[in-house]
Homo-oligomer: A and B are copies of this chain.
């Protein structure tokens, strides 16, 4: 039997567009001889719909879309469609919505499998919306039995994970049914289908595939996982859909960070092995480009503005934007003050030239002076400090937003994760923007990505990469005036922000003075209020700022 995996990029709430896309892919799968085409979790409405799920009209529209999809199978005959969607719950108690896989064939919904395990950690809130399934059964297409699971249902294998999050393992449950229902299953290849909306973090495509391989081997089954692809706000779905053979080898794998349609044949034996995954930096680059492109596009925009300081963060963001949207859709804006070095302006201009983007220079000396003049009656007698420093990025933020308002382009924020962690950024200043493109990328990775951008030729001026990092908000300022060198800082932040280690554990693990560690952790705690007003951050690590990391502000936290 030929089964197609349709790795699509739906838009949340776009029922018409998603339905059209599903039918186009189903038609192509039919042309390729598939008897069944499988779409991702919640493909009909897009993932994650969040609180849209609490609106009755949203559920009704999803149910209407399924009727339309089922109708297509009546007309076309083949292939059958297995697709993720939402449905009203049947129970009178508990949540009113189900996350389901529906099997559509011969014009009707032939089978419904409700999601059994609902993740509720990090960025996942599924117990907020869905009633968990308590029953599961095998289904059958063209005489081939199939075990159907939805995303998290396959993430509780006791052979793979050291600690179980749930007391049941739906894969195990279905395989035990397979064993018992000998009349239907005897002599049939075991096939486990998993429809997913599994967001990206660096290294996850590899972890996910290893986990699926462990399941395939343990149960002697083909495991076919189709994952959503595309950016939805903070989340990037990498796709990387895959079919694993019962021996754990990869039968076929779809693209990462792009839509794809792949077919596998359960009767075929060997298929060419998939390539290894891209290396860390290349994978990260793919995620950031897709996340940026989809955020801008799905918000209904095409153009972006990037403030170019001559520094490495804004240079990298501009390079990502050009890859995501095309040079013609990116405008760089330089906004120097008296503390900006001449080299910085030249570096910014050179970057824009290398990228082929328009560059505008709006010097802010005079606005800065005028602000200081207005404040003079209140500030006189005080010395130049944080208030004056912060005026500069806030003027820049205001200018970028004025250009955004005037010309209908989104502003991309350029701060990195090291800055956002320590609060080394100005709220309503350099934090202004629609999307924090590299807000989940620590500074040392910003360097690695910048070298990746330059792998063929100089795009980001080498001077930008090599000069000591500086916010240039006062004469001769250096990041290291306020922070430890990034080689020391980043691992401390990673341990605290991403792994929740204590100060003592970090000092021990990294051989750093515990007082230095605590001084850094205090910066993290003190700047939570800034992060809660930040632009959405593209998530590329296990723990990014935003919806997956929820800390209170008005607290007393002992580091």
Contacts and interface: CB of A to CB of B under 8 A. Distances in A.
Interface of A: 11-15, 17, 46, 48-52, 54-57, 61, 92-94, 120-121, 125, 127-128, 163-167, 231-233, 294-295, 298-299, 360, 362-364, 366-367, 370-371, 373-375, 378-379, 382, 385-388, 390-391, 394-395, 397-399, 401-403, 405-406, 427-428, 432, 434, 500, 502, 529, 532-536, 547, 549-558
A405 B379 CA distance: 11
Contact of A391 (B57, B402, B427): B402
B57 A502 contact: yes
A50 B552 contact: yes
A405 B535 CA distance: 21
Nearest to A48: B552
Interface centre among A164, A294, A363 (most CB of B within 10 A): A164
Nearest to A362: B374
Contact of A370 (B57, B367, B375, B549): B367
A167 B360 CA distance: 62
A533 to B, nearest CB: 5
B367 A387 contact: no
18 contacts: A11-B555, A11-B556, A13-B552, A48-B552, A49-B555, A52-B551, A93-B166, A93-B167, A366-B373, A367-B370, A371-B402, A375-B402, A379-B406, A386-B406, A394-B402, A428-B432, A434-B529, A533-B535
B403 A394 contact: no
A554 B233 contact: yes
A252 B52 CA distance: 42
A233 B374 contact: no
B500 A55 contact: yes
Contacts of A11: 554-556
A399 to B, nearest CB: 7
6 closest A-B pairs by CB: A298-B554, A14-B556, A387-B405, A387-B406, A12-B555, A394-B398
A310 to B, nearest CB: 19
Given A14-B556, A120-B125, A120-B128, 11 more contacts: A15-B558, A50-B552, A55-B502, A56-B502, A94-B167, A125-B128, A295-B554, A387-B403, A394-B402, A401-B427, A533-B534
A223 B402 CA distance: 58
Contact of A554 (B120, B163, B167, B231): B231
B399 A398 contact: no
B232 A554 contact: yes
Nearest to A389: B405
A14 B166 CA distance: 32
The number of times this chain is found in the oligomer is: 2
Contact of A405 (B14, B299, B386, B399): B386
A552 B49 contact: yes
A232 B556 CA distance: 11
A48 B554 CA distance: 11
Contacts of A502: 55-57
Contact of A395 (B398, B532, B536, B558): B398
A233 B405 contact: no
Contacts of A362: 374-375, 378
Contacts of A370: 366-367, 370
A52 B395 contact: no
Given A127-B127, A391-B398, A402-B387, A12 B554 contact: yes
A386 B359 CA distance: 23
A49 B379 CA distance: 38
For A61, A387, A388, the residue with the greatest tally of chain B CB atoms inside 10 Å of its CB is: A387
A378 B406 CA distance: 10
A408 to B, nearest CB: 10
B550 A13 contact: no
Given A120-B128, A167-B93, A299 B554 contact: yes
Given A48-B552, A397-B428, A550-B51, A405 B390 contact: yes
A399 B385 contact: no
Contact of A552 (B12, B364, B555): B12
A127 to B, nearest CB: 5
Contact of A120 (B120, B387, B397): B120
Contact of A500 (B54, B232, B428): B54
A388 B364 CA distance: 17
A294 B371 contact: no
A432 B386 CA distance: 17
Contact of A121 (B128, B163, B233, B554): B128
B54 A557 contact: no
